[in-house]
Amino acid sequence: MEVGGIVLVVVIALVVIVAFWAIATYNGLVRLRNLVQEAWRQVDVELHRRYDLIPNLLETVKGYAAHERAVFDEVTRARSAAANPGAGPAEQARQENALSQALGRLFAVAEAYPQLRASENFTALQAELTNTEDRIASGRRYYNANVRTMNTRVETFPPNIIARMFGFKRAEYFEANEPAVRQAPRVSFQDTSGTTGVYGSGPVAPGSDDRSGGPLGGEPGGFPPGQGGGQPGYPPRD
């Protein structure tokens, strides 16, 4: 075979290889884009389930705290903004954060009404909202994982050549804050000397029990020194 024929065969082989690579890369980008869109639709379904629960939650709280109109109006406005269609994931995340903050103030109001917190309707709505937010968090993690994979393919070489040729772009992350209904309460205490603090925080003082941070016998607020070395259940020493 002449040199020209060999070169032609090599060129044709290279063209075929590049064509197969381009087709495979394009199909992979399409598959990732569809995964991102599917994951977002799952998140959107859970977000709308959350929006549907909020009016019932508001009506329940209004039955016990009708004068807290400013909080109710804030939650209503935040819900309307978040439920507005057409927002991208990044803008949706900002609106969801505003809604979570408004709901946090609503639950802070509910804390002041023991009868409301004991209401079966309120408890059921709060539990359903918590379950919905758990599903939102799970869907958010799945969506962001697909976005990360998609963005990596779009930005790395050589797949970014195909991405630019066919208009594949970076997807937006959905990064919402932890919902207020899921935040753990801050537990504080006050000892016998009037000192306040947060449970489990701060260094262990000398003479304190390492497991609880509480004082032992002979320390202020502990067991009487004459009671078995500060241990409960022992008779006084002679």
Residue 122 corresponds to which tokens in the numbers above?
A: 């309120």
137 and 43 in a single domain? The answer is yes
The structural domain count of the chain equals 2
Report if residue 227 sits inside a domain: no
Strand 188-190 and strand 196-198: pairing? antiparallel
123 and 152 in a single domain? The answer is yes
16 and 35 in a single domain? The answer is yes
Report if residue 231 sits inside a domain: no
Over residues 65-86, the pLDDT tens digits come to 888 889 999 999 999 999 987 7
Share of the chain above pLDDT 90, in %: 59
Cα distances (angstroms) measured from residue 74 to each of 40, 99, 101: 27, 9, 10
151 and 212 in a single domain? The answer is no
195 and 177 in a single domain? The answer is no
pLDDT of residue 124: 94
115 and 94 in a single domain? The answer is yes
Question: What number is the average pLDDT over the span 37-64?
Answer: 94
Report if residue 140 sits inside a domain: yes
Q: Give the distance from CA 204 to its chain's centroid.
A: 33
89 and 71 in a single domain? The answer is yes
pLDDT of residue 2: 78
Question: What number is the average pLDDT over the span 98-114?
Answer: 92
User: φ, ψ for residue 173 (rounded to 5)?
Assistant: -75, 155
* Cβ atoms 84, 133 nearer than 8 A: no
| Domain coverage including residue 215 | 191-222
Report if residue 8 sits inside a domain: yes
Residue 203 corresponds to which tokens in the numbers above?
A: 């260094």
